[in-house]
Amino acid sequence: METVMKTALTALLAMLCLTACQPESNFNIEQQQQLDGSQALQLSVEGGFVLPPIPDDNPLTDAKAELGRHLFYDVRLSGNGQQSCESCHQQSLAFTDGKALPQGSEGHTLVLNSQSLTNVAYNASYTWWNPILVEMEDQLFIPLTGDDPVELGIDDGNREQVLQRFRDDEQYQSLFAAAFPQQAEPVTLVNVVKALASFVRTLISDRSAFDRGELSDSALRGRELFFSEKMECFHCHNGFNFSSSTVTVNTRFPERVFFNNGLYNLNNNGSYPSAMPGKFKVTNDWADMGAFRPPTLRNIELTAPYMHDGSIATLEQVIEFYAAGGRHIESGANAGDGRINPYKSDFVSGFEATEQEKQDLINFLHSLTDYEFIRDPRFANPFAEQPDA
């Protein structure tokens, strides 16, 4: 009887997750928020999507998003004028950089893989590991002004110099004036952040083969595996955004979840490399050692290498990693058996699968790729020469 009940509950849960992800025909929502003196941005979403939350103190406008797009791609928004946001977040790679670990503007290698900005407006928390960083505007100050590590390298010594670059530029004078029409001196770092946040919130990916219901037979089989208790992928990657750490405009009680997936187990005592121990860095609670936020799987085909440190090169290797229930590193500074990490999530328990089943799962993950998203001119570099229509 218990087995029958468990099977029924599993089937029901998978059905609910599928319902949350499946597209609905002719479903379109537009959101319009007014800001005195500027044109409101109409944000639309497709299929089973719900609108993302927008803060009251930074309503979306066309002018702010367009200013943010220019700033995102402009190397002048770094202390030494050598790097832009795009350096680590390239549209063709679903706004990642294809590297295991990125480099900051001063040449330092960072300790975390560049996350995709796909649907970042829906993140319940920001960065890979910080449970208290829940506002995008707060997060954006970190790559701009953070010093551990240095990313774009804006500091007290060069801040005015950086801002003056935009004050002296006639195009930016017009862009800032349109974005913040009620301000006499709109070129400020706070407004830079508001504009960047506005642009990044428009990076919504909802036009994949999955969203259109155009799955191959193999991908359909992979979908069943993804939502099965056998592979348990859906526990951490669920809902329309394929992440359990998701909020929408309708969310009242956000769940900010983090998981240890057995990537490390230094000296078999549960530790992770000291440079990035996950949520533990904030809480100092060993139960949070190695716990990281589950990212969206949308466009996962384009965002290799994988994991918070980019230490797994391919999707095929990711599947093998989860099939093993974690990673066993036999030697070196990070030696240890992640499969027996005492803080590992129960959802990462390993599974047996045929080669065909593994390929089916990969084909399902490929169906989450949104080629329109990575070619959308609304998100493209405004300084690059655009091809003729």
Place of tokens 């936020």: 293
Q: In CATH, what number does 211-372 get?
A: 1.10.760.10
CB atoms within 10 A of CB 191: 21
Domain with CATH 1.10.760.10 in the chain: 59-205, 211-372
Mean pLDDT of the chain: 90
pLDDT interval class at 42 (50, 70, 90): low
3-class state of residue 134 by DSSP:
coil
Q: Which pLDDT tens digit goes with each residue over 227-252?
A: 999 999 999 999 999 999 999 999 99
Q: Please provide the DSSP assignment of 348-386 as one string.
A: -------HHHHHHHHHHHHTT--HHHHH-GGGS-TTSPP
Q: Distance (Å, rounded) from C-alpha 70 to C-alpha 62?
A: 13
**Is 17 annotated among the ligand-binding residues?**
no
Q: Does the annotation flag 21 for ligand binding? A: no
Residue 29 confidence (pLDDT) above 60:
no
- Give percent above pLDDT 70 in the chain: 88
pLDDT 10s digits, 263-312: 999 999 999 999 999 999 999 999 999 999 999 999 999 999 999 999 99
pLDDT at 46: 75
Distance CA 75, CA 120 (A): 22
- For residue 251, CA distances in Å to 45, 232, 305 come to 17, 24, 31
Q: Is the pLDDT of residue 318 over 70?
A: yes
Please tell me whether 233 is known to bind a ligand. yes
pLDDT at 32: 44
88 is in an annotated binding site: yes
Backbone angles phi, psi at 188, to 5 degrees: -130, 160
Confidence band for 39, pLDDT divided at 50, 70 and 90: low
Beta bridge mates, 337: 328
What span, in angstroms and rounded, lies between the C-alpha atoms of 278 and 222? 30
At residue 11, the pLDDT reads 39
Average pLDDT over every residue of 10-35: 39
Mean pLDDT of 353-369: 99
String of DSSP letters for 202-269: T-----SHHHHT---HHHHHHHHHHTSTTT-GGGTS-TTTT-SSB--TT-SS-----B--SS--BTTT
89 belongs to an annotated ligand binding site = yes
pLDDT at 34 > cutoff 70: no
Per-residue pLDDT, 22:
39
Virtual CA dihedral for 325, 303, 251, 67, nearest 10 degrees? 160
- The pLDDT assigned to 36 comes to 43
The top-level CATH class assigned to 59-205 is mainly alpha
pLDDT-based confidence at residue 6 (cuts at 50, 70, 90): very low
Q: Compare 327 and 32 and report the one with higher pLDDT.
A: 327
pLDDT for position 55: 96
**75-126: per-residue pLDDT in tens?**
999 999 999 999 999 999 999 999 999 999 999 999 999 999 999 999 999 9
Stronger pLDDT, 319 or 5, i.e. the higher one: 319
Relative to beta strand 28-32, strand 328-329 is unpaired
Over residues 46-73, the pLDDT tens digits come to 777 999 999 999 999 999 999 999 999 9
pLDDT digit string (tens) for 144-180? Answer: 999 989 999 999 999 999 999 999 999 999 999 999 9
In the chain, % helix, strand, coil (3-state, to 5) comes to 35, 10, 55
